[in-house]
Amino acid sequence: FDSKGTFIRLIGDSGAGSQGENLTRPTGVAIDSGGTVYVSDWGNERVQVYNSEGSYIYTLRGESTLSKWALEFFASNPDEMEQRKISNLTPELPDHLSSPYHISSQTESYFWGPVSLRIDQSDILYVVESNRHRIQIYQ
């Protein structure tokens, strides 16, 4: 809406869902200096990215890196680190547990409860995750 209350545009599809432009319980929005729009899509455990006109561009699922304590553990356990790299930490779940929630809750690098996001003056994106008690940062 503009300053007079006139509708400008809709971002995302008009119905809930997990495909393409759909959003399910969006919880936050941030816009970078180029006009790219980022929406935390809590219901689908992801961040949806749209251009300045509101057209869907791509999805961020999360790509967290290891904490300093995990890095120390893996430094002394290189075989374990290699196996985790090979497996990509993506579990094989039964069909009845294939929702975005179940997949994210079992995959450490994925978002699980992205509730808020911010972009700083350098266009760095910060995504706050409530369920993993962390912030993922994108440049």
pLDDT at position 32, please? 97
Residue 50, amino acid: Y
**Are the CB atoms for 15 and 25 separated by under 8 Å?**
no
* Confidence at 85, pLDDT banded by 50, 70, 90: low
pLDDT at position 5, please? 93
What are the b/e assignments for 56-65, b being 16+ CB within 10 Å?
A: beeebbbebe
List the domains of the chain with CATH numbers. 26-138 (2.40.10.500)
| Closest by Cα among 125, 129, 128 to 138 | 125
pTM for the full predicted model: 0.70
* Confidence at 91, pLDDT banded by 50, 70, 90: low
Is the pLDDT reported for residue 50 higher than 90?
Answer: yes
CB atoms within 10 A of CB 139: 6
Q: DSSP letter at 84?
A: H
CA pair distance 84, 100, nearest whole angstrom: 21
**Are the CB atoms for 71 and 64 separated by under 8 Å?**
no
